[in-house]
């Protein structure tokens, strides 16, 4: 078996992992949640309206303020939706798994022992300056 075939096997294993399954089910629940999708659509429209209002030559500050408030309240409603909360958690768990897989592969590509290398604990802070894990 060559390395590409082995990678495909890893992909199959990933798709059988509980974190991937939970993510897929949570995404499907979000897709089927009409109220959530209506709120997301409303949020997008409000953002477009705000962009238009802010780029107008004669800015209507009252309208801009109202749109900003509407955006914030709609965002809060979206993020407090039970399906979105479950989705966010499942997405984070899957992203952490994929990050760990990628870190192990990178460490091996840099010559570390595949049997003993461990990705850094604590997750990625996003700042490469404080991290020695990516190589």
pLDDT tens profile 39-80: 999 999 999 999 999 999 999 999 999 999 999 999 999 999
Whether the pLDDT of residue 127 is over 70: the answer is: no
How far apart CA 60 and CA 54 sit, in angstroms, is 8
- Report the first-to-last Cα separation within the chain, whole angstroms: 27
Q: For residue 126, what is the DSSP state? A: S
Tokens for 103, please give them. Answer: 């870190």
pLDDT given for residue 120 in this prediction:
79
Whether the pLDDT of residue 125 is over 70: the answer is: no
CB 96 within 8 A of CB 127: no
pLDDT given for residue 119 in this prediction:
84
Whole-angstrom CA distances from 81 to 7, 30, 70, 120, 122 are 36, 9, 17, 33, 28
Whether the pLDDT of residue 27 is over 60: the answer is: yes
Whether the pLDDT of residue 134 is over 60: the answer is: no
SS3 state of residue 7: helix
Where residue 43 falls (left for φ over 0; alpha for ψ -120 to 50; beta otherwise) is alpha
Whether the pLDDT of residue 128 is over 60: the answer is: no
**Model pTM above 0.85:** no
**Portion of the chain with pLDDT greater than 90, in percent:** 85
Tokens for 118, please give them. Answer: 């461990």
């Amino acid at each position: 078996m060559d390395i590409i075939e082995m990678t495909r096997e890893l992909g199959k294993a990933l798709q059988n992992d509980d974190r991937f399954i939970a993510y897929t089910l949570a995404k499907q629940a979000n897709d089927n949640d009409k109220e959530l999708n209506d709120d997301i659509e409303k949020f997008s429209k409000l953002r477009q309206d705000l962009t238009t209002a802010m780029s107008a030559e004669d800015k209507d500050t009252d309208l801009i303020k109202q749109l900003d408030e509407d955006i914030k309240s709609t965002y809060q409603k979206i993020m407090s939706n039970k399906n979105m909360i479950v989705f966010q958690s499942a997405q984070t768990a899957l992203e952490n798994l994929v990050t760990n897989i990628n870190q192990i592969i990178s460490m091996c590509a840099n010559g570390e022992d595949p049997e003993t290398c461990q990705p850094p604990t604590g997750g990625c802070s996003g700042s490469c300056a404080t991290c020695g894990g990516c190589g």
